[in-house]
Amino acid sequence: MCRFDGRQIAAARALANVGAKELAEAAGVTPRTIGRLEVDDAIAVAPKRRHGHVTKSTFDKIVSALAERGIELLSEREGHGAGVRWMQPRAQRRI
């Protein structure tokens, strides 16, 4: 099971140099959705709409919008916590 932290979204936005509104527009979600996720400790992803969860399709849209900007979310795994990184080395980045 992949686990993500809401603060990863904020960290990813900082690396991508985009605001919440810009990320929301790119992902096709509301800025409120981005803000709600960023204040959550653990992001609960569900295949369908459930109270207190974000749908997998919504989360995938946000992850894709970040990937288009060269940012990758790393899930928490045994032995290390969740994180954020650039997908390409510095010499190859557009940012």
pLDDT level of residue 95 (50, 70, 90 thresholds): low
Which SS3 state, helix, strand or coil, does residue 12 take?
helix
Checking if the pLDDT of 44 tops 90, the result is: no
Checking if the pLDDT of 54 tops 70, the result is: yes
Distance CA 5, CA 74 (A): 10
pLDDT digits (tens, 9 = 90+) for 13-34: 999 999 999 999 999 999 999 9
Q: Which of 41, 43, 36, 34 is nearest to 66 (CA)?
A: 34
Distance CA 90, CA 48 (A): 38
What is 4-92's CATH topology?
434 Repressor (Amino-terminal Domain) (1.10.260)
The whole model's pTM is what? Answer: 0.86
pLDDT level of residue 78 (50, 70, 90 thresholds): confident
Residue extents of the structural domains in the chain: 4-92
Distance CA 55, CA 83 (A): 21
